[in-house]
A = this chain, B = another copy of it.
Amino acid sequence: MTAPAINAERLQQRLEAFARIGATPAGGVNRQALSAEDRAARRLLTELAQARGFSVFQDPIANLFIRRGGHDDSRPPLLIGSHLDSQPTGGRYDGALGTLAAFEALEALQDAGLTSEAPIEVVAWTNEEGSRFAPGVMGSMAFAGAADPATWQSLTGSDGASFAHELAATLAALPEAAPRSLGMPVSGYIELHIEQGPSLEKEGLAVGVVTGVQGTRWLKVTISGEAGHAGTTPLPYRRDPMVAAVGILHQLQASVMPSDADARLTVGRIATIPGSVNAIPKAVSFSLDIRHPSASRLAAIEAEVRAICRDQCERQGCSAEIATAFDMPPGTFAPAMIDIIETAADRLFLSSKKMVSGAFHDALFLSKVAPTAMIFVPCRDGISHNEAEYVEPASVRDGARLLLEATIVAAKELP
């Protein structure tokens, strides 16, 4: 028996093989959930598993599981994995890296003749992206019991396809996968993923130990004032919603992020009504994307938004309407699993930092039902959801090594 080791070249070739499924001319991937391309990727992974003698299962929402038994098969399995679906103009690493590195970990264990304590299962969750069928993170949400898949049966995709039809076709395309019911006890979950942001690269760190997922709240703010002629309305007679909006945003931009390094505030959309160059607008509306790892801070930021809107609108003789368009509470990962990953990174001499994920991941829902944590690796310029997404081979290797190391420990230590 030798020490198990990642075969970095094999993993790189696998990433390339999967990148050819749904490859776009610009070098990215279009492999949206439950599409023919998604099915082809599931088939390839299943064939690789069967060649290794691993068992393959799928549940009613088409989450795909590849199981390698442990010394004690009565223990709930440790899950490792991510997703195989992509954005319509997505990259080669988002999801695929975590799924294929997990499969590489299983192979590395087998190559070394090592049997883990608990069984280990590689999982590819269904429809993480949500670009073809909304919402995203469907597979993990259903697995964790946070949503009933029955409510999605009547969905229509962005391409007009029926969700029910595409789900059934995807399940039927893998008859060799044994059916399994939805949800089961698991001893833990580890997900390797690209950061999808610039921090690790900018700080020159090999990996991130992810301690949770930020909460996200989307507000739509509409400021109403009084329309007027740009030339004929002097300042004292203006009730200009654009002045109120700028005052609000200026105050928020000077306060929320500068005073709290964990907070995020983004204005992605803004528009005026009627939108004439020479008219004081009647109304201005803008979006606020607010994120924070702490639910109470998120609530405090929303309260600050509301107070600033009230104050600035009062000054300008305007009124504000604030609607919540989306609200995802923060997720906190398990200290035990975070510790396993951090210790493993130190043992492998991988430079790391603890960090909170700014994006959603399947791990968010798994954390509700099992000790969960994530590993991030840097991606070039922080670019993701983009055909230009790129991860250095050294980062692919580092991430996979850390995943393997943490997997061995977690499969042994976790009950």
Chain A residues in the interface with B (C-beta under 8 A): 195-199, 202, 214, 216, 218, 228-235, 237, 240, 242-243, 246-247, 249-250, 253, 257-258, 261, 264, 266-272, 275-281, 284, 287, 289, 291, 325-326, 357-359, 382, 384-385
Contact = CB atoms under 8 A, between A and B. Distances in A.
Contact of A269 (B196, B234, B276): B276
Given A229-B196, A229-B358, A279 B268 contact: yes
A278 to B, nearest CB: 5
A292 to B, nearest CB: 10
A239 B268 CA distance: 13
A230 B269 contact: no
A359 B271 contact: no
A246 B250 contact: yes
Contacts of A232: 195-199, 357-359, 382, 384
B261 A269 contact: no
A312 to B, nearest CB: 11
Contact of A266 (B195, B230, B249): B230
A253 B243 contact: yes
A197 B146 CA distance: 57
Contact of A198 (B237, B246, B271, B359): B237
B269 A277 contact: yes
Contact of A237 (B289, B359, B382): B382
A382 B228 contact: yes
Contact of A230 (B195, B271, B289): B289
Contact of A250 (B240, B250, B258, B277): B250
A277 B261 contact: no
A237 B200 CA distance: 11
Contacts of A258: 235
Nearest to A288: B277
B230 A291 contact: yes
Per CB-CB distance, the 5 closest pairs between chain A and chain B, nearest first, are A197-B232, A231-B358, A232-B358, A230-B266, A250-B250
A384 B266 CA distance: 37
Nearest to A235: B257
A237 B357 contact: no
A353 to B, nearest CB: 12
B237 A384 contact: no
A237 B197 CA distance: 9
15 contacts: A214-B231, A229-B359, A230-B289, A230-B291, A231-B358, A232-B359, A237-B382, A246-B246, A246-B249, A246-B250, A247-B253, A266-B279, A266-B280, A268-B277, A277-B325
A326 B278 CA distance: 11
Given A197-B228, A232-B358, 17 more contacts: A216-B231, A218-B278, A229-B382, A229-B384, A230-B268, A230-B289, A232-B359, A242-B249, A242-B268, A246-B253, A246-B267, A267-B281, A268-B279, A269-B275, A269-B276, A271-B271, A278-B289
